[in-house]
Structure 1
Amino acid sequence: MHCTEYFNCMKNVLGSSEHACHQKGCFSLVCESELHSNQAKLFIEQKKIPFPVDNHNTNEELAIGYVLIGNGLYDESIKHFSLLLQGDPELVSAIYGRGIAYGKKSLQEAIETFKEALKLKSDFIDAYKSLGQAYRELGDFESAMESFQKALMLNQNHIQSLQLRGMMLYHHGSLQEAIGNFKRCLQLEPYNEVCQYMKGLSHVAMGQFYEGIKAQTKVMLNDPLLGQKASSEYLKVKYLREYSRYLHSHLDIPVAEYNVDQDLPGNFKNHWAKNLPFLIEDYEEQPGLQPHIKDVLPQNFDSYSSEVQKLICTADHLGALMQYETPGFLPNRRIHRAMGLATLEVMQAMHRTWSNSKVRVNGKTRQMQWRDMFDIAVKWRRIADPDQPVLWLDQMPARSLSRGFNNHINLIRGQIINIRYLAYFDNILDFIKDRILVYHGAYNPRGLLEVRQALENVNKVEDLLPIMKQFNSKTRDGFTVNSKVPSMKDPGKEYDGFTITITGDRVGNMLFSVETQTTEERTQQYQSEVESIYKDLTAKGKALMLSTELGDADAVCNLILSLVYYFCNLMPLSRGSSVVAYSVVMGALMASGKEVIGRVPKGKLVDFEAMTTPSPDSFSKTAKSWMNLKSLPGWYQSLPSVAETFPSTRTMIEVLNTDSSSHCPKKS
């Protein structure tokens, strides 16, 4: 039966006019239903259903559930599988399918559902693999490893488990183990692009450029067939290869003598940061590998002096304090060490500046500026994971800047909820309600009471759309709300903060996102604010070196946190703004004689905390409440200089590769 026949049939059943039916959308729903049914038949033919049963109708219903997942209709899929399970509570394939759909909504429910499937079928490899992936997305490394291990005990050649475990190990900072998984994956499936790309990336991150670039070139040669969509690895690999060559040619040049943001071509940076296909006019490739520059060799922890060993162990401890205790963030030991070293280097550089010493930056010896302070953290964040372009947005080509460079975060997209930001949903909802009331107070004062009453019943962001459509004729498919950030330099003045966008035609099909626009004008406003605070901070920091007044130290602390408040609201980097900001906070506080003892509380994120807090003062209060600042122990001052101990990319990669697990004292 074709869609038109379906439509006539439905029209008769509903007893409604053609116009009304179009409005109800049943025409598209019926077409959709026929489409899903056809896709389900194909699904069965291709034997994609895990553990099919003898009953053909049941298999068709199972297939429809999986097709709904494939079409992003997770809520409908959960309902569909739940209905099937009412008839047969032990239908393993339906339990597993429901777990996959839950994975896009609530990882905890997905985990429980996969466990339920495994109770009924203990040799269900895909359920172990999916359980491992759910734990990995939650940020629970140990549980994920255990689940992947169980999948591979059932089948040591299970490619998806090897691939997922390898990727998790990479993002945990365990690069050597990750490479082992990718090698095994490629023995079994030589053209696996994900394993090939990740193997190349892992080698380069460890400073093994010859092996790394060989693997990257294999991905580049794997051109998609005509009409075939290119994989994300294929689209990214040219950037990685060019950046790898750049890193290799600069391995032994002191980091203080060059600047990545100035060296890399503007269009290359712009395309890389925006994740665009590599189509760059008149692009001149980086020089190929030069044989006289050798790969980075493994470094033994014992080969460092006892002072440097203490430096490394201290960095590991400080870096771990920056770890978000929030679902969705996997602890990464490599990032911990890199950002711990960044914190110590910031501390030492600020101390030098406040003691009237100069620093070496970009081949010049001069007084340290605010950007130099952040550049220390940027340098370490960049080297910890070469896959991510950590670039200053104001150093992008002028044309790209004038159009604005958006940092975009989807909080809800379609039916997928971003669990990393869940703790901020209520905050943002209250903020949107306030802005709606302000808007109606200005443009529709008579209807204000009605709007206020309607908003009181709204507990979820999704429920705002119908209300906005009801009270504002301009709201067709969505609306935006802007936050404002107050100036410290010019009291009474406000800057544009972030933009919240809510669009969609119904609950379950919406986009709820937050973005910051890095236009030239906005960048200049924030930078003048940061410069003004930094100038004040330098003066007060110098005074602090000569004083013992507690009030002076507190004023310095507030200035440091205010500086980072504006940095986070500006979002000046293509990646990594949050951890860069926090390592600068910790390092500058240590320079002022304060040690951060506390961890970032569960659910809290430094950048979002700054973005959703109305003023620098309230951000300072919140941050201080969790930092639990104590007086800095004297031995910190006698640690070796980070910049002198690790002056080049080679020495930085060496220290990040070094295993200290059995050497550093365990700290709680």
Structure 2
Amino acid sequence: DDFATCQVYCSGCFGNPQCCHSNICMLSNLIKELYYVFLLYPVTGFTQETIFSSFFLSFVCHCCLLMYVCLSFHLYVLHLSQNQAKLFIEQKKIPFPVDNHNTNEELAIGYVLIGNGLYDEAIKHFSLLLQEAIETFKEALKLKSDFIDAYKSLGQAYRELGDFESAMESFQKALMLNQNHIQSLQLRGMMLYHHGSLQEAIGNFKRCLQLEPYNEVCQYMKGLSHVAMGQFYEGIKAQTKVMLNDPLLGQKASSEYLKVKYLREYSRYLHSHLDIPVAEYNVDQDLPGNFKNHWAKNLPFLIEDYEEQPGLQPHIKDVLPQNFDSYSSDVQKLICTADHLGALMQYDTPGFLPNRRIHRAMGLATLEVMQAMHRTWSNSKVRVNGKTRQMQWRDMFDIAVKWRRIADPDQPVLWLDQMPARSLSRGFNNHINLIRGQIINIRYLAYFDNILDFIKDRILVYHGAYNPRGLLEVRQALENVNKVEDLLPIMKQFNSKTRDGFTVNSKVPSMKDLGKEYDGFTITITGDRVGNMLFSVETQTTEERTQQYQSEIESIYKDLTAKGKALMLSTELGDADAVCNLILSLVYYFCNLMPLSRGSSVVAYSVVMGALMASGKEVIGRIPKGKVDISDLSDMHRHLLLGPAALVDFESMTTPSPDSFSKTAKHWMNLKSLPSWYQSLPSVAETFPSTRTMIEVLNTDSSSHCPKKS
């Protein structure tokens, strides 16, 4: 039946193999359907070509709905597949060949991946730009308005672009057509969780499990949502069900199965500390070192001599729903202010879904940092890890860390220097792929030009030292380089040591010891051509490097504390500017160090905002969009973008000095004088002293109470 109707739905693809290629997805279905088609082939009376042609159109019709753009592609797999694909083309084994050789090769690579059983890699290979996919889905819906999978995939495409309202509308339409559509329930639930709407997410996961009791994704996400809301009994029960679903012999374990034991152990820890003041304990010191190490590295839970966290204790009750009206008017104002401040941290760019829960958590972190810094500059002490003392720089960041942790317990936000000594000596790598294979990480695309200029400068420095006679020729060659991909041939031409790639290291200047430099990040470029290259940035958090940066941060913090105390007694504008520069310089080194396993950027920015507010400055501006000119991209890369942003951590890493970073940041922060009413807000630390009270305020709905600010 579908073969006939397919001619209507996909008529635009007739005679256009690129259209078919552009819309292939869900490749596991191909194997199943192809198997049945060829089982029937001998008795149908149709030729193999007719069967395959009809099947291919049906497959396109069913599978043109792109689910998501994958973030990675194994280069070694791609390299092998390309060689096989070329042979495939030479032997004329590719179905539906076209005049364009590159198109044939790309199609052939996909078929080779399928033939080798690499279905996930094949899906990644056939991924498209989400915007193009959206237009395809819309066209399909014009022809067939009850196309459920089109609505489902349209919703997922919008979700990947960060368009929550459009995604919700699409998922809703899919479920109106079929209220039992499991994939729509699962995807909508996950989107709601990452939007901070946990109670609504739980409803979707419950319905999903009613229809499919062994759905690991829904079971895991249901458990996670319950724990995030403080409903530990239901949460850990769901987590245990995932743990009991052991993979069969030879079957690959799901990511949910690999993560769930870490989540269950952390959930038990949170439950046992639910009513203990947060200032009286330290997560990084309490959790076993090997547990933290494995969790941060996303390793299988194979930890020798691990002692499990205590089970649920009946006398510790779950967190109950809290009504916004139950808070005093002052606390209500505190919550609304936090919501506004947190929204200023949202990256206003495709690829980032707004998360109201994270917004409130980091807004409260900002206010708590402001209040803590103000007390410190007024010679007051703070309560940290069960002790009362003067606040140190790590205590300031720990305020933001605790709120980031509690907002989303799925992610291990841990201090890397608190890992076991053996692990720290080996180093922790923060790795960001900018280009891998045919996938561009568009979140960082705005920084490509800066990085390219930096690489050119380092190449000239290298040749100035080791090849002074050829420096002019190298300089002239580099002037014609406008894309990262063009650097490899240049390096191979002028440096015999360059074979498959090269690395370039950045340096970070010291403020404490003028003339001294620290290791920054490492840029790696490998590969032999466009479509088969790796362009990545990496920071290595070794013990020696950590000590260097911490010494720098401590020096700046000491100076900041002294100038902050002087500022409390002064009205001079210059004093406030000096404090502002020190705050931004401190965060500059924090971001270059990358001391956390997750969340360094939002933690850093909330500390910046809070400390600036303590100095009398209010951040008015939002984090700017990354400006990307799509017309500058090659055709191959233009349809494989993942999403742009001006990121606080990357802004720090790609700026040559703390002074330059301060100037850039102050420009888009648009600092104004802090209104006096901020000083009368209730103490965040005293209002929400425990994990229970923190979860309660994050659960509270304020949507109909807080004024919306632009």
For the residues of structure 1 that align with 2:8 and 2:180, how far apart are their CA atoms?
53
Change (3 A) 1:486 1:81: closer
Unpaired stretches in structure 2, ≥5 consecutive residues: 26-68, 73-78, 628-646
Structure 1 residue 410 displacement after superposition: 1.1
Structure 1 residue 128 displacement after superposition: 2.3
Change (3 A) 1:118 1:64: farther
Structure 1 residue 438 displacement after superposition: 1.6
For the residues of structure 2 that align with 1:545 and 1:579, how far apart are their CA atoms?
27
Greater displacement, 448-457 / 535-544: 448-457
Partner of 1:62: 107
Structure 1 residue 447 displacement after superposition: 2.4
For the residues of structure 2 that align with 1:135 and 1:47, how far apart are their CA atoms?
39
Secondary structure of the residue aligned to 1:82 is coil
Change (3 A) 1:146 1:208: same
Greater displacement, 156-165 / 250-259: 156-165
Say if 1:561 and 1:585, in contact at 8 Å, map to a contact too. Answer: yes
Secondary structure of the residue aligned to 2:709 is coil
Say if 1:327 and 1:603, in contact at 8 Å, map to a contact too. Answer: no
Task: Deviation per CA, 1:517-540: give whole Å up to 9, x if none.
Answer: 100110000000000000000000
Structure 1 residue 318 displacement after superposition: 0.3
Say if 1:312 and 1:341, in contact at 8 Å, map to a contact too. Answer: yes
Change (3 A) 1:458 1:25: farther
Greater displacement, 197-206 / 76-85: 76-85
Task: Deviation per CA, 1:475-519: give whole Å up to 9, x if none.
Answer: 122111111100000111100001111112332112211111100
Structure 1 residue 334 displacement after superposition: 0.2
Structure 1 residue 622 displacement after superposition: 0.5
Secondary structure of the residue aligned to 1:513 is strand
Task: Deviation per CA, 1:375-400: give whole Å up to 9, x if none.
Answer: 00000000000000000000000001
Say if 1:134 and 1:144, in contact at 8 Å, map to a contact too. Answer: yes
Say if 2:382 and 2:391, in contact at 8 Å, map to a contact too. Answer: yes
Say if 1:73 and 1:415, in contact at 8 Å, map to a contact too. Answer: no
Structure 1 residue 426 displacement after superposition: 1.6
Task: Deviation per CA, 1:163-187: give whole Å up to 9, x if none.
Answer: 1111111111010111111111111
Identity of aligned residues (%): 95
Say if 2:151 and 2:173, in contact at 8 Å, map to a contact too. Answer: yes
Structure 1 residue 465 displacement after superposition: 2.0
Structure 1 residue 111 displacement after superposition: 2.5
Structure 1 residue 116 displacement after superposition: 3.1
For the residues of structure 1 that align with 2:6 and 2:243, how far apart are their CA atoms?
52
Change (3 A) 1:38 1:291: farther
Structure 1 residue 241 displacement after superposition: 0.2
Greater displacement, 256-265 / 439-448: 439-448
Greater displacement, 257-266 / 422-431: 422-431
Partner of 2:496: 473
Structure 1 residue 460 displacement after superposition: 2.0
Say if 2:17 and 2:98, in contact at 8 Å, map to a contact too. Answer: no
Task: Deviation per CA, 1:216-275: give whole Å up to 9, x if none.
Answer: 001100001001111111000000000000000000000000000000000000000000
Structure with more contact order per residue of length (Cα contacts < 8 Å, sep ≥ 6): 2
Task: Deviation per CA, 1:57-84: give whole Å up to 9, x if none.
Answer: 9999999867769999999999999999
For the residues of structure 2 that align with 1:10 and 1:117, how far apart are their CA atoms?
12
Change (3 A) 1:217 1:58: same
Say if 1:595 and 1:630, in contact at 8 Å, map to a contact too. Answer: yes
Structure 1 residue 471 displacement after superposition: 2.1
For the residues of structure 2 that align with 1:136 and 1:32, how far apart are their CA atoms?
15
Change (3 A) 1:343 1:37: closer
Structure 1 residue 348 displacement after superposition: 0.4
Change (3 A) 1:165 1:69: farther
Which residue, out of 146, 150, 173, partners 1:123?
146
Task: Deviation per CA, 1:409-431: give whole Å up to 9, x if none.
Answer: 11112212212111112211121
Greater displacement, 442-451 / 549-558: 442-451
Structure 1 residue 134 displacement after superposition: 1.9
Say if 1:139 and 1:329, in contact at 8 Å, map to a contact too. Answer: yes
Structure 1 residue 618 displacement after superposition: 0.6
Structure 1 residue 23 displacement after superposition: 30
Change (3 A) 1:159 1:8: closer
Structure 1 residue 39 displacement after superposition: 13
Greater displacement, 321-330 / 205-214: 321-330
For the residues of structure 1 that align with 2:415 and 2:153, how far apart are their CA atoms?
37
Task: Deviation per CA, 1:44-102: give whole Å up to 9, x if none.
Answer: 999999999999999999998677699999999999999999xxxxxxxxxxxxxxxxx
Change (3 A) 1:20 1:551: closer
For the residues of structure 2 that align with 1:335 and 1:72, how far apart are their CA atoms?
39
For the residues of structure 2 that align with 1:81 and 1:398, how far apart are their CA atoms?
43
Q: Does 1:52 align with 2:97?
A: yes
Greater displacement, 506-515 / 521-530: 506-515
For the residues of structure 2 that align with 1:556 and 1:281, how far apart are their CA atoms?
48
Change (3 A) 1:130 1:84: closer
Say if 1:72 and 1:415, in contact at 8 Å, map to a contact too. Answer: no
For the residues of structure 1 that align with 2:505 and 2:183, how far apart are their CA atoms?
43
Partner of 1:298: 321
Structure 1 residue 208 displacement after superposition: 0.3
How many residues end up aligned between the 2 structures? 639
Say if 1:319 and 1:336, in contact at 8 Å, map to a contact too. Answer: yes
Change (3 A) 1:353 1:146: same
Say if 2:17 and 2:96, in contact at 8 Å, map to a contact too. Answer: no
Secondary structure of the residue aligned to 1:488 is coil
Change (3 A) 1:474 1:247: same
For the residues of structure 1 that align with 2:361 and 2:18, how far apart are their CA atoms?
63
Say if 1:52 and 1:59, in contact at 8 Å, map to a contact too. Answer: yes
Change (3 A) 1:248 1:23: closer
For the residues of structure 2 that align with 1:82 and 1:233, how far apart are their CA atoms?
23
Say if 1:327 and 1:419, in contact at 8 Å, map to a contact too. Answer: no
Greater displacement, 424-433 / 365-374: 424-433
Task: Deviation per CA, 1:435-460: give whole Å up to 9, x if none.
Answer: 12221222222222332233223222
Greater displacement, 446-455 / 192-201: 446-455
Change (3 A) 1:39 1:173: farther
Change (3 A) 1:150 1:615: same
Say if 2:341 and 2:359, in contact at 8 Å, map to a contact too. Answer: yes
Secondary structure of the residue aligned to 2:311 is coil
Secondary structure of the residue aligned to 2:351 is coil
Secondary structure of the residue aligned to 1:289 is coil
For the residues of structure 2 that align with 1:52 and 1:491, how far apart are their CA atoms?
63
Say if 2:334 and 2:681, in contact at 8 Å, map to a contact too. Answer: yes
For the residues of structure 2 that align with 1:48 and 1:192, how far apart are their CA atoms?
39
For the residues of structure 2 that align with 1:399 and 1:592, how far apart are their CA atoms?
40
Structure 1 residue 474 displacement after superposition: 1.3
Secondary structure of the residue aligned to 2:129 is helix
Change (3 A) 1:618 1:155: same
Q: Normalising by structure 2, what TM-score?
A: 0.81
Structure 1 residue 654 displacement after superposition: 0.2
Secondary structure of the residue aligned to 1:83 is coil
Change (3 A) 1:451 1:23: farther
Task: Deviation per CA, 1:602-640: give whole Å up to 9, x if none.
Answer: 128110100000000010001100111111111100100
Say if 2:8 and 2:143, in contact at 8 Å, map to a contact too. Answer: no
Which residue, out of 409, 417, 429, partners 1:406?
429
Say if 1:11 and 1:18, in contact at 8 Å, map to a contact too. Answer: no
Say if 2:505 and 2:519, in contact at 8 Å, map to a contact too. Answer: yes
Q: Does 1:7 align with 2:4?
A: yes
For the residues of structure 2 that align with 1:666 and 1:538, how far apart are their CA atoms?
35
Say if 2:9 and 2:144, in contact at 8 Å, map to a contact too. Answer: no
Change (3 A) 1:488 1:238: same
Greater displacement, 124-133 / 295-304: 124-133
Say if 1:300 and 1:659, in contact at 8 Å, map to a contact too. Answer: yes
Q: Does 1:358 align with 2:357?
A: no
Say if 2:21 and 2:126, in contact at 8 Å, map to a contact too. Answer: no
Say if 2:18 and 2:103, in contact at 8 Å, map to a contact too. Answer: no
Structure 1 residue 126 displacement after superposition: 2.5
Say if 2:22 and 2:128, in contact at 8 Å, map to a contact too. Answer: no
Change (3 A) 1:82 1:656: closer
For the residues of structure 2 that align with 1:430 and 1:495, how far apart are their CA atoms?
20
Structure 1 residue 36 displacement after superposition: 8.9
Say if 1:388 and 1:575, in contact at 8 Å, map to a contact too. Answer: yes
For the residues of structure 2 that align with 1:7 and 1:512, how far apart are their CA atoms?
46
Secondary structure of the residue aligned to 1:269 is helix
Change (3 A) 1:24 1:560: closer
Say if 2:338 and 2:360, in contact at 8 Å, map to a contact too. Answer: yes
